[in-house]
Every structure is written in C-alpha cells, then in structure tokens.
A and B are shown apart, each in its own frame.
Chain A
C-alpha cells in the first residue's frame, strides 16, 4: 500500500542519492525518514505545544504502539533528524526552489520527493494539502510560473528556477487576496481541507481564457474535489471575484 502511514514515513531523504543504481539498496537504506518534522522544544514554543508538533508526536507514538517492527526503522530516523542538514550537505545533491518570491536551497534532496512533500516537510509551507497524492483531488494545487498544477505529480528536483506560488504567497491573514475574502464571505468551505487548493485554482482561472457562464466556472474548478460539497458557495465566491476583476 503506497499510501500507508509507513510508506509515507519512509518516503523521503537523501542517503540513496549518490549510490549507484545498479546495486540493490539494503532495506535500512531505503527506509529514509520524512525529514524535518522538527519537534519543537517545549520551552521554545513558550511552554505550549503547537498543533502541528503535537499531531506529529501523536502520529509517531501511535505508530510505535501499533507496529512494533517499525520502531527499529523509525527510531534511528527520528534520532538523526537534528543532524540531517549537515549530513545532507556532505552528500552534495541540492535544489534551489523559489517559493513565494523567496529562494530555498535544499541539500540532500531525494529525487523521489514530490514538490508537494518538499513544500510541506522541508520548507514547512503546510497550507498546501495532501489529499489523494495521485492528481485526482486538487488539494495540492500550487502555481508554477503562474499556472496551476498538481504538486503531488511532480518531483521537486524538476523545479529549479521555476517561480512557485503557494497559498501562503497568495495572501496573509491580515492581507487576504480577494478570492480568499470571497471564500470567507460566502462560506466556500466546510472542513477546509480542500480550500487552499480550491483558492489556488480559483485565482488561476482569473487568468485563463474560459467563458463567462456558471458552467464554464464549474468546468474550470472541476479539478478540485470538495468532499463536504461546498461547491455552490465556491461558485458564488469565484463569480463575485470574476465580476469585480
């Protein structure tokens, strides 16, 4: 099962990069960790857990409780997290991604790391969501060179030099993009998980040569699935911004 928690946990990182592919990798070489879900020290967070670090810790704990053999693989990975950046520097493989106008040089990147996982786990821009991980749901939609794409179906190493925009680059809590404001105004969401992808698609379609009818907007938004079924309100929000643009 490629989408099991174990597979996700094992998905990323560097050791394999410079190994000749003719040699089969030993299991412990393949079982590389999802690098920096850096546990925040209690004192650094002002004595409070962040939601994210709490959930990460919870995930690791429950994995250890439910899958004893995994502990062997997972524990060294966790222990090596702190040192990983310097280890990776020695490996030399790196990519520079330009995200929301800022350059991020990532050392020791695994060629298998998708743009989505890299944005979330390495650059810590967790506004972009992982839904199906197969290009079927649109939760991972970001803009590459001004166009919307599914970041789950692209490897990060393919994006050196590209201009990448995530939901964090579209607007901020005190400076919302008109589309974000319209989604808030019209309740264009329920649980909110698909929302950043919906908004990235909605912002992109403002520049696309699509027609003016509701059907045209619905077609243009069809790559973003909303399991809560907020489609009606999403349509109203998109239409409002298009009308004012």
Chain B
C-alpha cells in the first residue's frame, strides 16, 4: 500500500477544504480494500467519520432524508425505512455481511466500485498486467475474452463490461432518490439516474461528482399510499455474495390494474439499472403472468452478452417476473 497523509474533518467546511487535494474516507470497506490492492493510491485521506451526517429525518413532504454517514445496518433497520421503503431495507440486508454493513455508509455505497476481477488485479492497466480501461484508459478490457460470468449485459460498451455491485443503489434507483452534494461551487442535487455514468468511451469516470464534492445526504421521495415494494436477489450462495441478477420492484395495484410501477435491476448493468421499458409494459395493465413476462422481456431486450454471461438474460427475466409477482400478489 502506498502511504498517505491522514487528517480528520469534523465539519463539512473542513472536509471540503481537505478535498482540494485529498480523498474522503468513510467506512473504508471499498477504499481500504482497493488501497491494499494498489487499485487506489490516494496521496491524502480526509476521514469524514466525525461529520454530523449520521441521522435519518422525516421530510415535510413525507419523504425521508438519509445522512451520508448513516451506516448500511442503521438504514436497513430504521423503522421508517422498514415501513415505507421495504425494498431498500431488503436490498441493504442482502448485501455484504453484518460486519461490513456496520462500517459501510450511505454515501460510500453510492461510490462503491466494481468487483470485476481484472479491475481488482494490482497490475491491471500497467505494462505486463491485464488490460483494464477503467484502471488506465486505452489498455483494453481483459474481461471481454476472459472470465466474464459475473459481468454486465446492460449498459455495456466496447471499452468496459464491469458490473455495478451495489444492492442499495438498485433500490434507490427504483425509489428515484435524490443525492445532495456540497462542493467548492456550493450545494446542488443530482437525480439518482444521473449520478452513475455509463462506461461508454470513459469507463474510468463512474459518477457525476465534480472534484472536491462531498455527498451530504440522500432524499427518498414519498411513495404513493398503498404501494408495495420488494428486492429479490439471485446469487451463487444464499448470503454474503454479489448478485448475478436482482430486481427492485415497487408497485401499486388498484382494481386489478397497475397504477404505479418502478422496476430496477442489479447484477446485470454497468450502473444500477432502471428499466423504463418494463414499467411502460406494465403501467395501466393487469398484473398477470403474461404481462409480467412481457415486461421482463422488455427489460432485457437491449442485453448484449458474451459466452460467460449469456445465462444472465434468462436469470434476470425470471428474477423480474418473480419480484413483480411478489409485490402485485
């Protein structure tokens, strides 16, 4: 591990001052791991654990404001989250392990980096190492003709097929969460759909944060009365494993017809994957088997597969269908 200068920030102002040259560290579950692998080599770390951003508050309009430093287990077990956003609680509890959830924060989870085995290789993107356009643009992608069973089938480019690993983010994509940031130019908000970037020709740019910006909190909009939600995650083991395919679904059924529908997928996309196609196929329709299958097919219509991950198309379809049936039953 490369050495670094370390400082602590107990106010947002101090954190922003330190961010001019440094990187933020919160739970550390991604950053420390990647520093040990030499994937991340920050020269300066600003410890933001003392920031007063670990609270969950109700908003006037009925939504919820989640501080960036709220840890994953606190968010998952929060009474309001369990009552009003079960999809988020379930997604969080399906991710990582209890120890990691006690460390990992809301802001940090938004910044979680891919588990692509080539990306995580210490020498990837260097001469003699595996090609990785995310590590070093222009060095190629070893996953394309390598081991790509875990890789993405939606939102891929010819530069990168790395899967976005987060479960929390899939639920937040379905919830249309709003990310609040503060930086050298002041405060601003970022719609969840705009936060994570598709790889395109710039897979090393993963999100919309400007240099020096700090995530301060995430707002969860109020869902319609009577909406139900669920997160279904399919993986190689029953616990402590990343998704092969997952689905976050929110639906409200009235008089046999779907009046409100949100569908997002994990484990299959290069970013948390909201499927407007699936939603369009269900809105105003009857919540029956045929319509659920048609929606799932629409969600995967744009999939681009490689030999190792072609199975994910059918797996993700069935995952979406099952999740839709759970919330519309």
> Measuring CB to CB, which residues of chain A are less than 8 angstroms from any residue of chain B?
1-2, 11, 16, 21, 25, 30, 110-112, 114, 133-135, 138, 141, 147-150, 153-155, 157-158, 201, 204-205, 208-209, 218-220, 222-224
Contacts and interface: CB of A to CB of B under 8 A. Distances in A.
B254 interface: no
A157 B77 contact: no
Nearest to A16: B3
Contact of B36 (A2, A208, A220): A2
Contacts of A1: 122
A8 B286 CA distance: 61
Contacts of A30: 3
Enumerate the 4 nearest inter-chain pairs by beta-carbon distance, A residue then B residue, closest first.
A223-B97, A222-B239, A111-B6, A222-B240
Interface string B28-45: 110011001110000111
Nearest to A29: B3
Contacts of B283: none
B132 to A, nearest CB: 17
B111 interface: no
Contacts of B209: none
Nearest to A205: B98
Interface stretch (B99-107, B142-150, B151-159, B213-221): B99-107
Contact of B98 (A16, A21, A148, A154): A148
B291 interface: no
B41 to A, nearest CB: 11
B60 interface: no
B100 A111 contact: no
B25 A21 contact: no
Nearest to A146: B102
B288 to A, nearest CB: 31
Contacts of B33: 134-135, 153
Nearest to A145: B102
Size band of the B side of the interface? Answer: 20 to 34
Contacts of A112: 1, 3-4
A224 to B, nearest CB: 8
Given A134-B33, A134-B36, A154-B103, A223 B1 contact: no
B83 interface: no
A223 B98 contact: yes
Contacts of B43: 21
A158 B25 contact: yes
Contacts of B202: none
Nearest to A153: B32
Contacts of A209: 77
Contact of A111 (B4, B49, B103, B122): B4
A16 B36 CA distance: 17
A220 B3 contact: no
B47 A149 contact: no
22 contacts: A25-B3, A111-B3, A111-B4, A111-B5, A111-B6, A134-B33, A135-B33, A138-B97, A138-B99, A141-B99, A153-B27, A153-B100, A154-B32, A155-B6, A155-B45, A158-B25, A201-B98, A201-B99, A208-B73, A208-B98, A223-B96, A223-B100
A134 B38 CA distance: 13
A114 B3 CA distance: 12
Nearest to A17: B3
Nearest to A112: B1
Nearest to A18: B5
Contacts of A16: 3
A69 B34 CA distance: 28
B3 A21 contact: yes
Nearest to B97: A223
A141 B99 CA distance: 7
Contacts of A138: 97, 99
Contacts of B47: 157-158
Interface in B38-66: 38, 43-45, 47, 49
A222 B47 CA distance: 29
Nearest to B47: A158
Contacts of B29: 135, 150, 153
A1 B239 CA distance: 28
Contact of A2 (B1, B4, B5): B1
B103 A153 contact: yes
Contact of A110 (B3, B98, B122): B3
B36 A148 contact: no
A177 to B, nearest CB: 18
Contact of B28 (A133, A153, A224): A153
B97 A222 contact: yes
Given A148-B102, A149-B102, A209-B77, 8 more contacts: A2-B36, A16-B3, A25-B3, A111-B4, A138-B99, A153-B28, A220-B98, A223-B240
Nearest to A219: B239
B169 to A, nearest CB: 19
A158 B31 CA distance: 14
Contact of B5 (A21, A223, A224): A21
A21 B4 contact: yes
Contacts of A150: 29, 99-100, 103
A1 B47 CA distance: 27
B36 A218 contact: no
